[in-house]
Amino acid sequence: MTSLDNDALYASAQKNLLVFGSSFLPDVIVQTSGLYLYTASGKKIMDWTSGQMSCLIGHGHPAIVQTIAEHAAKLDHLYSGMLSPPVIELAEKLTSALPDGLDKAVFLSTGGESNECAIKLAKMYTGKFEIVGLGASWHGVTSGANGAQYHAGRKGYGPVASYPIRMHMLPSPDAYRSIFRNKDGSYDWGMELNYGWSLIDKASAGSLAAVIMEPILSSGGMIAIPPGYMAAMKAHCRKRDMLLIVDEAQTGLGRCGDLFAIQHEGVVPDILTLSKTLGNGLPLSAVITSNEIAKVTEERNFMFYTTHANDPLPASVGLKVLDTVLEGGLVQRSKIAGAQLHAGLHRLMDRYGCIGDIRGRGLMAGVEIVSDRETKAAAIDFGKKLSARMMELGLSATISARTTFSGCIRIAPPLTITDDELAEGLAMFEEALRTTQGSMPLY
Q: Which residues are catalytic?
A: 138, 214, 247, 250, 276, 410
Contact 49, 399 (CB under 8 A): no
Could you give the dihedral angle defined by the CA atoms of residues 365, 441, 384 and 38, in that order, rounded to the nearest 10 degrees?
-70
Going edge to edge, which strands form the sheet with 36-39?
A: 29-33, 36-39, 44-47, 395-396
Locate all alpha helices (DSSP H) within 130-228, ordered by sequence: 143-147, 189-203
Please state, in angstroms and rounded to a whole number, the distance separating the CA atoms of residues 341 and 330. 15
Nearest to 379 by CA among 392, 389, 370: 370
Angle between helices 229-239 and 189-203 (to 10 degrees): 30
Q: How are beta strands 223-224 and 216-217 bridged, if at all?
A: antiparallel
Buried b (16+ CB within 10 A) or exposed e, 161-195: beeebbbbbbbbbbbbbbebeeeeeebbbeebbee
Please state, in angstroms and rounded to a whole number, the distance separating the CA atoms of residues 285 and 304. 14
Buried b (16+ CB within 10 A) or exposed e, 345-375: beebbebbbbbbbbbbbbbbbbbbbbbebee
Please state, in angstroms and rounded to a whole number, the distance separating the CA atoms of residues 187 and 175. 6
* CA 422-97-141 angle, 5° bins: 70
Strand partners, 46: 36, 395
Please state, in angstroms and rounded to a whole number, the distance separating the CA atoms of residues 215 and 169. 16
Please state, in angstroms and rounded to a whole number, the distance separating the CA atoms of residues 266 and 264. 6
